Amino acid sequence: MTDSQKKDIRQFSNAELQAVMVSWGEQPFRGKQIHEWLWEKSAHTFQEMSNLSTSLRDKLSQEFEIRNLVVDTQQLSTDGTMKFGFKLFDDHIIEGVLIPTEGRYTACVSSQVGCSLSCSFCATGFLKRQRNLTDAEIYDQYVLINNACRKQYGKPLTNVVFMGMGEPLLNYKNVLDGIDRLTAEDGLNISPKRITVSTAGIAKMIKKLGDDEVKFHLALSLHATNDENRNKIMPINESNNLDVLVEALNYFYDKTEGRITFEYILLDGVNDSEEDAHRLIKLARRVPGAKVNIIEYNPIDQADFQKPNLEQRAKFSRIMNTAGVTTTLRKSRGKDIDAACGQLANKA
């Protein structure tokens, strides 16, 4: 049987694997063992499954394949940030990032090959969206970045953010299934409170997160304080304007009481005025407990935006904090290897 005819074993549930084993004349618990190897022990080959007989491992290899990610490229920044190019089974490349900060090791993972939203300050937005990632491909990014983190820093990952390539809420089912693989007791059993999903703002899917009562945190890529400006830099705003998004975020909070963060990249002369700061304060106050992350703009080849100077960034943040809105001025990491926010574009 050729690889193209083999089935992807990680698309089978625990119960389905047990049923396959029974059909092969094996005991059903063998299916449970295979499931454990795939999702708890992160096995990438059938030969690793040492508590299965050699004949069963050989049969699995004949009938199934494990479409695991492979590290294609790996770069280390002067600040310790690591960027990875991951090759998928169909030869597409996606990128992920390991961000080490004091007491935290964060994996930034992708949800799509490319992106369809065309945000003008983001390099990924200039790529064509090729396809959604599977839940297993999302899981693999975490596993491979965690392995690198342990090797480089002697520590496991502490956090996961869906802020890489693609729009997570346009790959809703696979992203939630991937998060389930990470958080489930029969998966990696990590806390959902260590996970943040970032969206450019698809209101109906934000509400669906509320209906599904998710346990992870939510971040909104805001980047403008009125619809006129946001329409210019984020076309998704034309169908999901600020009032609609605020309503959706409140719905999400009412259903989950989950933490909501506004992400705000400061662009010189575009969204960094005192008026913008005061409008952002008003927006944040409309969403219970909302925090604001002020993000340093990172240059990309496709756009000519500039970042404000440090004094202007500090002033903007000071206005926010003085008004009582919890605001963090976030320093970019990995700029020298194009691993910072907005720079992922498969250039390596």
Could you say which of 95, 137, 167, 263 is catalytic?
Answer: 95
Could you say which of 115, 122, 149, 341 is catalytic?
Answer: 341
- d(CA 75, CA 188) in angstroms, rounded, equals 26
Contact present, 112 and 164 (Cβ < 8 Å): no
Query: Counting Cβ atoms within 10 Å, is residue 44 exposed (0-12), middle (13-18) or buried (19+)?
Result: middle
> How many Å separate Cα 347 from the centre of its chain?
19
Catalytic residue at 341?
A: yes
Contact present, 77 and 337 (Cβ < 8 Å): yes
Catalytic residue at 95?
A: yes
Collect contacts of 315-318 with beta carbons under 8 A, ≥24 apart: 316/266, 316/272, 316/276, 316/277
CA distances from 101 to 13, 76, 89, 106, 213 (A): 37, 14, 32, 8, 30
- d(CA 84, CA 348) in angstroms, rounded, equals 9
Rg (CA), the chain: 21
Q: Which two tokens stand for residue 224?
A: 């403008």
- d(CA 81, CA 104) in angstroms, rounded, equals 12
Concatenate the DSSP letters of all residues of 69-127 into one string: -EEEEEEE-TTS-EEEEEEPTTS-EEEEEEEEETTEEEEE--SEES-SS--TT-GGGGS
Q: Output the CA torsion sign for 238, 284, 196, 123.
A: positive
Active site amino acids: 95, 341
